[in-house]
Structure 1
Amino acid sequence: MHPVRTRWSLPTAFGSLKVCRLCQRRAFRSSTRLLAAQSPQPQGKPSPTPVGQSPASYKAPSKSEGFNLETLGRPIGFHRPPLPGENSGEDTRSLQERRDDFVDWDTHIKRRKELTKAVSKPYFRDFTNMQYERGKSFLANPRVFRADRALFFPNFVGTTLANSSKPADTTLVLLNRISLVSVYSSDWALKQVQTWTSEKHNPDLRRLLDGSKGIAQHVEVNIETNRLKHAILSLFKGRLRNERTQDDWDKYFFVRKGITDEIRENVGIMNAKVGYVFLVDGACRIRWAGSGDAHEEEKQYLNKGLRTLIAETTGSAKSKIPPQVTQ
């Protein structure tokens, strides 16, 4: 039985043309096939991208596709020294400045690019990358970076175990001290960091820190951007205090705001679910870095690097700090 054809009038230069819906569907299918035939077809399969080179990549390629961890061959960090108060995540602009940014075209384009980049990042990317080397991003360097070529560790703002109400800056804690900085955001990442720093896995490191007579210290940065999870984490502060000496309470930071993609990419924190460790000198320069689970030789590199930095500090009267840092 022939389907009912509903006719409608299509205005033309010569009057009205009667067209049924069946003819419309046939014309649409024909035009769709024509466009598909004219569209260029992708040639071959795109080459895999190594982990850490593309922040928006969905997953790291497997070893069968050519995935191999590479040594961190160049300094990481920022070219400008950090300042206390930076990266707090708080908008300190006046109402007039906010209005100006709202109508400014350049600011609009910049914000639109940021939103596009955030939307294009797959939600499960970090979880997917965990299947490759347990999320390890890079191999640690055998030696520390030279002081004249090292880049700066950014400032983080958060509360500490010593004071839960007043914001504190990591830069003020890192100045004039050799610091082993641990950065993590989950229990999985914490366990990875402990393969580098705990007395069970690396007793030589703990002896170096305890025997440095205050020259070296261990600073922990616990990042949790989710408001609810951050509130739950605050309930365990009592247990965290019991696990540390009172002198170390002001060296444990809870950070929720100010962690941008720019900071993660410059410092090498390519996977938010993985733990990272850094050796930072008294001028807040990153002299060495490690990621994920520690290999045996990497722990030796860490211990050797800490000894080198301690020797540099004790060999000079005082670490040279750029004047911008003390502002």
Structure 2
Amino acid sequence: MKDLLDAEARTAQRRHLVKEASKGYFHDMNMTRKHGGKTWIAPKVLIREDKALYLPNINGKSLRDGAKMDTTTMLYGKITVLAMLGTQISETHAKSFANSTYARYSSNPLFQYVQINLQENLLKSFLVKLFSNSLRSSVPLELQKNYLVSSQNMEYLRDPLGMTNSKVGYVYLIDENLKIRWGGCADATLREAQSLESCTGILINRLEEKARSSVEEKAGGTSEDLPVEDASMSSTEQQKTLKS
């Protein structure tokens, strides 16, 4: 069984290497020039929870103070709009999707906007770290804590996430259980931006309802456990019972 799994892993790796080797050096740039790098259209509605993929754990350092952080810890229990960045144009792409959603829900404690500046190339990663002060000045203060700089290798995770072009931005909507419920890439159309805003609102409402139900259940359990006075007992008998 182990040999079979190893063989399947090697076959998958060979397929991946052949696919990457067949790409020209300027492949992603040429694709971006042709049609803005948009390789798929965002869904109009949420991806069903039972069909949604889990977001892989991504490590990085916070732009604000350099603290080590990871997406599993950051995103669990909240509704998150996650932007994957790598170039200046990708930042523009992310804003076209997220601006209206962030403006509407940023004050909600169950919502957060997380940006990951992913630089898998060692030289570019070094340059980003070197000029972190300049980068920090371009990111609003309130967004710096949840802005991660990462050099994690995503080579085998790009295809499952639909991140087929390293030059464009990708935006995902992640639920409280770390599942990818929506995604978009490159420049957002008006419909796509509206779809993200609508889907985010749906997930927030569902999470708020879960929180209310949980509070009500706890409150109900507490009230059931409280002692109830026996109406048939006189006040004197009740006092004696309490004293005893």
Common fold by TM > 0.5: yes
Per-residue CA deviations over 1:181-217 (Å, capped at 9, x if unaligned) read 001210111111111123xxx3xx23322231x1100
Q: Kindly state the Cα deviation for residue 237 of structure 1 after the two structures are TM-superposed.
A: 2.4
**TM-score scaled by length of structure 2:** 0.76
SS of 1:135 mapped into structure 2: coil
**C-alpha contact (below 8 Å) 1:313/1:319 kept by paired residues:** no
SS of 1:317 mapped into structure 2: helix
Q: In the TM superposition, what are the counterparts of 1:207-246 in structure 2 within 5 Å? A: 207-212=103-108, 214-242=109-137, 243-245=139-141
- 2:68 is equivalent to residue 149 of structure 1: no
- 2:177 is equivalent to residue 280 of structure 1: no
Q: In structure 1, what is the equivalent of residue 84 of structure 2?
A: 183
Per-residue CA deviations over 1:221-252 (Å, capped at 9, x if unaligned) read 11112222212212332244343235x43311
Q: Which structure would you say has the larger RCO, counting Cα contacts within 8 Å and 6 or more residues apart?
A: 2
Q: In structure 1, what is the equivalent of residue 210 of structure 2?
A: 316
Alpha-carbon distance in 1 for matches of 2:186, 2:60: 24
Aligned residue-pair number: 207
> Identity over the aligned pairs, expressed in percent?
28
Q: Kindly state the Cα deviation for residue 113 of structure 1 after the two structures are TM-superposed.
A: 5.4
CA 160–183 in structure 1, closer or farther in 2 if over 3 Å, else same:
same
Q: Kindly state the Cα deviation for residue 117 of structure 1 after the two structures are TM-superposed.
A: 4.0
Instruction: Compare CA radii of gyration and give the structure with the larger one.
Output: 1
Q: Kindly state the Cα deviation for residue 256 of structure 1 after the two structures are TM-superposed.
A: 1.3
SS of 1:229 mapped into structure 2: helix
Q: In structure 2, what is the equivalent of residue 296 of structure 1?
A: 190
Q: CA RMSD in A?
A: 2.6
In structure 2, list runs of 5 or more residues that go unmatched: 1-5, 215-244
Q: Which structure carries more helix by proportion?
A: 2
Per-residue CA deviations over 1:277-313 (Å, capped at 9, x if unaligned) read 1100110001111111011111111110111011011
Q: In the TM superposition, what are the counterparts of 1:85-100 in structure 2 within 5 Å? A: none
Query: Amino acid of the residue matched to residue 129 of structure 2?
Result: S
Alpha-carbon distance in 2 for matches of 1:181, 1:319: 27
- 2:146 is equivalent to residue 251 of structure 1: yes
Alpha-carbon distance in 1 for matches of 2:110, 2:10: 47
CA 116–241 in structure 1, closer or farther in 2 if over 3 Å, else same:
same
Q: In structure 2, what is the equivalent of residue 140 of structure 1?
A: 42
Alpha-carbon distance in 2 for matches of 1:114, 1:144: 29
Q: In structure 2, what is the equivalent of residue 173 of structure 1?
A: 74
Q: Kindly state the Cα deviation for residue 219 of structure 1 after the two structures are TM-superposed.
A: 0.3
**TM-score scaled by length of structure 1:** 0.58
In structure 1, list runs of 5 or more residues that go unmatched: 1-104, 321-327
Q: In structure 2, what is the equivalent of residue 4 of structure 1?
A: none
